[in-house]
Structures are given as C-alpha cells and as structure tokens.
C-alpha cells in the first residue's frame, strides 16, 4: 500500500489528499488547528484553477457554487477610468466562489482512504536518504512514502528543506469580507457592484457572489470585497479597523461607501500580505522510498494582486496526482518527485514575476509616481493582465 502524509488542510492540502486517495493511496492529513475549516471569505478562480479542479475530478459541482466575473475595468478614486472594461474575453473570465463552499466540496471528495489528524503542529522533519520521510510534533510522528508540505507560507517542512526561502512583507495589508445578501445594500442600476478602484497605495475590488434572491449560484451568496492598503497590518480590534477603512475610502466612488457601511466587524478578515523571497530552489526532495514535495504557499507564496495563489496550489495538486498516480515506492516515486519540481518551478517563477510587477504598479505613491502610473496604466495593466490571463488560460495538467 502506497502511503502519503499531507501537512496542512487548506485548499491545496485537501485537494491533494483527496486526489491521492482516489488514486489508491492511503493518506494521513495533518492539520495544526483543532478542526478543519475555511475562511468565511471568497476567492477568485481563473481558468487554470478551474481546469485543475476538473483534472482532480472535482469540477462537476463547480457550476453550482461559482459566479462568472465580468471584466470591470479599473477606476481612479475620482471615478475616472484608468482602464476601460474589455468585453469579449469570456474564455479567460474567472469565477468567484465562497471559500466555505469550495471547502465543503473538497472535504466531500476526501473519501474513506484519508485519515484526518487535527491539533498536529509539525516541529520536526526527518529527511534522510536511507529512511522514509517523516514529520513529528514532539509527541509522535508520521512517516510515509510521500510527504506533501501544504502548510502555507510559514511551512515548518520548507524551513527544514529549503532554508534559503525567506518570508518577507509585501508592503501592504488586505481586508476581505462577504456581505450576505440579506444585509447587502440595494443599489440602483447605474451603480453596479462589480468594480476595481485604484488610488495612492490603496485598492478596492468588489464582486457579486451569486444573484440576490437566487439559491442556485452559491449557498453562501452576497457581495465579496477586498481592500488593500500600503503599510503593515493593523493591531486594533475589527471594529476599529473597519472604522479606518471607512475613513480611508470615504470619498471613493459608489458603491464603496455603501459596501463598507453594510459591513459588520465580524465580517472582516484581515490578512498581512507576505511572500517568499527568494523562492525555494527546488519543490521536490527525493528520499527513501519517495520523498517530500512543497505545494501551494509553502512553495510559492506571493501577493494576491493577480488572484493566482489558490489556482497555483490546485495546479500543483493536479500535477502531483498525474505524476504519482502509477508510481510505486522506490526509484519510480523518487523520479516522480524530481519531475514535480522540474514541471512546477518554472511555471510558478513566471507567475510570481508577473505578480511582483503588478505589485509595483499598484503600490505607487507620491505625486510624480502616481502621475507616471496613471499615464502608463492604461497600457501597462492590459498588457500585464493579458499576459497573466494568457498564462492562466493556457495551462494544462500533464497527461
């Protein structure tokens, strides 16, 4: 029986555990928290993420929980267009899903070959050529032919195997919330919800999650918004943070003020935006009968500006499943671990580079910098977003 340990029960970890189990592996899923749960926010899935879900056998129910996103363009805080909406890109259009809906679908796909252990925080990693890899928490340990580190940007496994990858601040913080439809403001037709507004070190994006009064698009519908501000995360209470957001975005165009007014402190989820610099030199480490792989944010954490974090994690999972589906412990599995790194690292390096370029554009501050950005954004952003969208649309899981 081939065995795997997956560390971390986020989107990437759940997707990988279920995919391996459906391929005949016996899987132990380790989660640091006391239970497996999702944030009460939403996320955007680009075509590559959708395609990865389908490759993992989890695409059938996606239509029931996903809402297509139109191209909404980008405005300045004074309401003028920086980038006009660009119709006709339906094949590259992303969808938005509530994280709890996606989480439920991934948990439902685990099956009976996955054993879940919560409250397990990895403190030790055994990695030696003569032994099967193993992880421990100081009280016990789990060993397997394959260890998958899907334990996020602060991955204990990555710190052991790729100490060159440092966690650094991206220079901004983000706040997310989903306003349920019963509390969402009723907006007139000339004030659409969907939109992106970009200012001096600030950004606000809002999208509809399902349709008001409809139970078909999402079981947890509403209006999802993300606000980004340059600087460190805030230590104050959620109520105080929400007050700050209302003040920062007070004079921005509608419906931003309406959305913040309808948001309650318990809706708010703050995120310190961090990234890995440099990326690990490898994502696969052969050892014993197989080895260890890095997956998701443990391998390539990046700012959220292009919405590719979850998508790349699902790509990782789909690629790994394809490579190890028929691999037996020993030389074949070790070679699959090496192939995973060869396939995934160049891909993620490209997307991370695009994300960092967008980060520099979004965080421009100062009068001269803003003038230069606004003058160039109409050219730079479509080209950059078009490049990112093309990369997202063109990815295919390995055969």
Long-range contact pairs involving 213-217 (C-beta distance under 8 Å, separation at least 24): 213/181, 216/64, 217/64, 217/65, 217/66, 217/67
269-277 average pLDDT score: 95
Containing H/E element for 297?
A: helix 297-300
Average pLDDT over residues 13-41: 96
The predicted model gives 303-328 an average pLDDT of 95
Q: What is the pLDDT of residue 218?
A: 47
What string of DSSP letters covers 157-220?
HHHHH-TT-EEEEEEEEEEEEEEETTTS----TTS-S-EEEE-SSEEEEEEEES-TT-SSS-TT
Alpha-carbon torsion 179, 308, 71, 198, what sign?
Answer: positive
Q: What is the mean pLDDT of residues 65-73?
A: 86
- 93-132 pLDDT, tens digit per residue, is 789 999 999 999 999 999 899 999 999 999 999 998 888 9
Q: Looking at residues 303-308, what average pLDDT do you find? A: 88
* pLDDT of 393 higher than 70: no
| Strand (E) or helix (H) holding 147 | strand 146-149
Asked if pLDDT for residue 390 goes beyond 80, the answer is no
For residue 258, the model assigns a pLDDT of 95
**Of 39-48, 82-91, 322-331, the least confident:** 82-91
The span from the CA of 373 to the CA of 6, in Å, is: 43
Q: Which residue has the higher pLDDT, 394 or 238?
A: 238
In this prediction, residues 35-45 reach a mean pLDDT of: 93
Q: With cut-offs at 50, 70 and 90, classify the pLDDT of residue 200.
A: confident
pLDDT at 89 over 80: no
Question: Is pLDDT of 191 > 90?
Answer: no
Residue 216's pLDDT is 44
pLDDT band at 392 (very low <50, low <70, confident <90, very high): low
Residue 289: DSSP 8-state: T
What percent of the chain is modeled with pLDDT above 90? 68
**Residue 320 to residue 20: CA distance in whole angstroms:** 9
Mean pLDDT within 193-217? 82
Q: What pLDDT band is residue 180 in, cutting at 50, 70 and 90?
A: very high
Is residue 215 very low, low, confident or very high in pLDDT (cuts 50, 70, 90)?
very low
> What is residue 388's predicted lDDT score, i.e. its pLDDT?
58
Mean pLDDT of 139-146: 97
- pLDDT of 234 reads 93
Q: No. of H helices and E strands in the chain?
A: 11, 19
User: Coil, strand or helix: which one is 260?
Assistant: helix
56-66 confidence digits (pLDDT tens): 998 888 988 99
pTM above 0.85, yes or no: yes
Tell me the pLDDT band of 356, cut-offs 50, 70 and 90. Answer: confident
């Amino acid at each position: 029986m081939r065995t795997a340990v997956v560390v971390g029960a986020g989107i990437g970890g759940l997707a990988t555990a279920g995919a391996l189990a459906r391929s005949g592996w016996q899987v132990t899923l380790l989660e640091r928290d006391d239970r497996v749960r999702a944030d009460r926010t939403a996320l955007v899935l680009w075509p590559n993420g959708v395609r990865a879900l389908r490759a993992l056998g989890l695409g059938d129910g996606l239509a029931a929980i996903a809402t297509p996103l139109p191209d909404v363009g980008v405005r300045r805080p004074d309401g003028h267009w920086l980038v006009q909406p660009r119709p006709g890109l339906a094949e590259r259009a992303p969808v938005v899903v509530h994280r709890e809906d996606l989480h439920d679908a991934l948990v439902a796909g685990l099956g009976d070959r996955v054993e879940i252990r919560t409250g397990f925080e990895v403190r030790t990693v055994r990695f030696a050529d003569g032994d099967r890899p193993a992880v421990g928490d100081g009280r016990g340990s789990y060993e397997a032919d394959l260890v998958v580190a899907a334990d996020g940007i602060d991955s204990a496994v990555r710190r052991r195997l790729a100490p060159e990858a440092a966690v650094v601040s991206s220079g901004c913080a983000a706040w997310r919330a989903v306003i349920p439809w019963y509390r969402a403001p009723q907006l007139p037709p000339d004030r659409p919800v969907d939109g992106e507004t970009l200012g001096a070190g600030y950004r606000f994006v809002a999208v509809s999650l399902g349709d008001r009064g409809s139970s078909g698009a999402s079981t947890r519908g509403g209006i999802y918004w993300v606000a980004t501000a340059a600087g460190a995360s805030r230590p104050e209470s959620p109520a105080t943070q929400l007050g700050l957001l209302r003040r920062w975005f007070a004079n921005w165009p509608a419906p931003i003020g309406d959305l913040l007014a309808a948001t309650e402190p318990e809706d708010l989820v703050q995120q310190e935006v961090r990234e890995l610099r440099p990326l690990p030199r490898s994502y696969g480490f052969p050892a014993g009968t197989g080895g260890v792989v890095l997956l998701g944010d443990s391998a390539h954490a990046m700012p959220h500006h292009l919405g590719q974090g979850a998508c790349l994690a699902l790509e990782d999972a789909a690629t790994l499943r394809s490579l190890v589906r028929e691999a037996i412990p020993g030389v074949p599995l070790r070679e699959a671990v090496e192939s995973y790194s060869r396939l995934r690292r160049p891909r993620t390096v490209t997307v991370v580079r695009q994300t960092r370029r967008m980060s520099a554009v979004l965080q421009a501050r100062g009068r001269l910098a803003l003038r230069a950005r606004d003058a160039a954004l109409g050219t730079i952003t479509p080209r950059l977003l078009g490049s990112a969208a093309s990369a997202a649309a063109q990815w295919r899981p390995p055969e």
